[in-house]
Chain A
Amino acid sequence: MLGRTLREVSAALKQGQVSPTELCQRCLSLIKKTKFLNAYITVSEEVALKQAEESEKRYKKGLSLGDLDGIPVAVKDNFSTAGIETTCASNMLKGYVPPYNATVVQKLLDQGALLMGKTNLDEFAMGSGSTDGIFGPVKNPWSYSKQYREKRKQKSHGENEDSDWLITGGSSGGSAAAVSAFTCFAALGSDTGGSTRNPAAHCGVVGLKPSYGLVSRHGLIPLVNSMDVPGILTRCVDDAAIVLGILAGHDPKDSTTIQDPVKPFTLPSLTDVSKLCIGIPKEYLTPELSSEVRSLWSKAANLFESEGAKVIEVSLPHTSYSIVCYHVLCTSEVASNMARFDGLEYGHRCDTDVSTEAMYAATRREGFNDVKL
């Protein structure tokens, strides 16, 4: 059951083949079993079971809220969740319990989704490995796959198994691992410079970064306000589309969301690709590209071409400036967004009370980790 798509599970729930509570309990038990992955910072067992109970009542009455009703989901720990600790994997927010839900979290809850817990990440979503949070690194479930175990046996010659594991990529590594390990059907990540797509690729799941302005950032603890978007991690593309349909749309609380109404959509099942035109940007064929990646890329391009799609070369001429611009914007906005963490209103506060400046300095030194760019 846990390996099914959202639509399949939803149908099963409607037909009574499985109940939300069962689903919830199975996921919770799997979370416990896969604790070594360190994908979850907080497991909200009580909350999830209660939500499952209510979902069950709805299904019994035949009043399901939609495709997500009764479906276990996980949320990256940089989204505000009312009453549930939100840490951003940082000492600065350890123990911080927000009084409100992020808009995207609220939307999921309004659809009846079950919140399994908050997933691990790089501290404040700054990183691309999910290794830099205070709760330790997230381990890629594929580290425990048969293939990798065989590879490891060949290499290690008796080295400690525990220390040989693969990273999930980041910064939404916890969400990616949670989805990849079947502990939930969908997870929210965030994407600033690849933080949803990167771990999705590493963990073999689907990672969608919606266009900026499509999904509300209200409640997403920001890294770079002009680039952040909530990301969606699922095990198949159709599931990602379902979740996007629920999350997209104007939010009056976020002035950067577009005003135009978003029409719900379903992805067409694509069997005929002859009408597709696919562009391969030439600037991305850099010398640093690994041969494995390059061959996979060619393989995909060839696959489409052989099925009748048009595959052409395109140019994205500003590519070479992108990293530099990203760094300038990123460092400026991060510095700005981190200015609010002074220990006064919430979060960690140091013990010094000599002066305000001293308190700020000590609080921030203790609360923040070193920045690893």
Chain B
Amino acid sequence: MATPMLRWCCPGRRWIFAGIGGGSRHGRGVPTGSTSSGKKGQSSVAQQPLITAQKPRKGEREWAAVVGLEIHAQIASNSKLFSGSQVDFAAPPNSLVSFFDASLPGTLPVLNRRCVEAAVMTGLALDCHINRKSLFDRKHYFYADLPAGYQITQQRLPIAVNGSLAYSVCVGKRWSQMVTRTVGVKQIQLEQDSGKSLHDNLRSQTLIDLNRAGVGLLEVVLEPDMSCGEEAAAAVRELQLILQALGTSQANMAEGQLRVDANISVHHPGEPLGVRTEVKNLNSARFLAKAIDYEIQRQISELENGGKILNETRSFDYKLGCTVPMRDKEGKQDYRFMPEPNLPPLLLYDSGSLPTGADPQQVIDIDQLRERLPELPRVTREKLVRQYGMLPEHSFALLNEVGLLEFFQNVIKETRAEPKKVTSWVLNTFLGFLKQQNLAVSESPVTPSALAELLDLLDRKAISSSAAKQVFEELWRSKGKTPAQMVAEKKLELMQDAEALEQLCRSMLEAHPQVVTDVKKGNPRAINKLIGLVRRATLGRADPTVIKEVLERQLSS
């Protein structure tokens, strides 16, 4: 799409279509069957990109986009959903395949308890109603990576329904303007993952790896309450954090543990919903929002040009940055859903309904699981804000990086510096260095203790903040020395002799009467020259803010 289009998605959730390329309508006349009316004189207006989404220009109609998501999360369990083979991402091909996974005739599914617990915990974390009885079904289609010719899923009565997921998005330009949105969780169901096919076009063959066949998946269906790529990405991100906090899925998109399909349609507000397309297998956090936004724009342009949206399945081409129809999923599939006869209904209990004398190995108590639920990200963030007085967006940033929160908390434990200082150093300096060198927190050369010690020095005013930054950089580069040692070596200690500083400032003022006059005339910034000079005279060992304070005090007296 040639024309850059600026839009805010969050405030009014409105899209204003600003025209594609140079002259989509120009010179074409009004297309027949166009949904827009009275557009004849609009071509010149259409050229200008719109900056605000709030007020549509006269005659132009708004578009609203509707986005729903189906998210598949691989359950973190030792063995697969219905068989005892191991779950491991990097194992040699076809080395983790049991007889059942290979669909050998006569083999039967046996439900994995851990997977059921994972589903219940996730349902509880998303405020779902847990169905005390849920059922398993077969979904049939022929594909090489589906050995049995059907997938076992929960179509009729899934394990959890009617929940909600709260997430935060930025409104406005500044990161600090965050609002909380909610998306409904339609249901959570247990189902099998398929194997992997690798298409070898050179030799016209497809290689099948069944290691993944039968791995347990949680399918989380989010209602079409979202309206743009950013909201969808934020919702997915929050779900990822929840799953990771619960331990029910590692939810790593790069390893295929979290896969997202989006259902997207557009319509004019007040009118019925448009035809939706499904964009499948969005496997990258980075491209999730892009792909969804692309599809929204594509649909809008299509409709604006008088075309129709086909109810089809598309995939996102990462290289081209656009969605393309998926050839082998054309036409509607009849999955011939059928109850899975080899699995009786899944019955769950709570402490009130547990049958007496029940073997605890054989039953699942929802209340027990609820008690054992770990702290959810939302609660962790609220606690951080309350306990340390940090801004909400800082709490988000701390949870957004693996291991960062723990690092932060370890520093807090060992330092006397104010939490706000610690927050600032961890999120700005520390994180900055990590990102620059593309390191994970676990790979950091600076330990929490080292940073804590450094912050203590700063807190005691033993060093200036610029000296501290220097030390930090040094810590990052070379190991083995403590901050105190570095300070001593580089003679970075702040001047502690207040009297000497007063003396120095006084003499500096005396030596530069012109500056004194300038300041007194009303140019306070002239003092900076003096500050610089005093600093140099102290060999950088005086804190500029202190110097400024002394000079100003002396000037005013």
Contact = CB atoms under 8 A, between A and B. Distances in A.
B175 interface: no
A222 B149 contact: no
Given A356-B144, A360-B142, A336 B338 contact: yes
A344 B147 CA distance: 8
Contacts of A102: 106
B266 to A, nearest CB: 35
Chain A, interface size: which category? 35 or more
Contacts of A339: 140, 142, 148-150
Interface in A330-353: 332-333, 335-336, 338-342, 344-346, 353
Prevailing SS type, chain B contact patch: loop
B109 interface: yes
Given A255-B111, A339-B148, A339-B150, A225 B106 contact: no
Contacts of A99: 99, 104
A25 B208 CA distance: 47
B201 interface: no
Contacts of B106: 79-80, 98, 102, 218-222
Interface string B2-21: 00000000000000000000
Contacts of B206: 356
Contacts of B38: none
Interface string B139-181: 0101110011110000000000000000000000000000000
B138 interface: yes
A346 B104 contact: yes
B277 to A, nearest CB: 25
B33 to A, nearest CB: 37
Chain B, interface size: which category? 20 to 34
Nearest to B101: A345
B109 A255 contact: yes
A356 B108 CA distance: 26
A80 B110 contact: no
A229 to B, nearest CB: 13
A66 to B, nearest CB: 25
A100 interface: yes
Contacts of B147: 340, 344-345
B140 A254 contact: no
A102 B147 CA distance: 20
Interface in B103-143: 103-111, 138, 140, 142-143
A336 B140 contact: yes
B357 interface: no
Interface of A: 79-80, 88, 93, 98-100, 102, 217-222, 224-226, 252-256, 259, 332-333, 335-336, 338-342, 344-346, 353, 356-357, 360
9 contacts: A80-B104, A88-B105, A98-B105, A99-B99, A100-B99, A217-B108, A220-B106, A255-B344, A357-B142
Given A221-B105, A225-B342, A345-B147, 16 more contacts: A99-B99, A100-B104, A222-B105, A224-B341, A225-B341, A252-B110, A255-B109, A255-B110, A255-B342, A333-B341, A336-B338, A339-B148, A340-B103, A345-B103, A346-B104, A353-B205
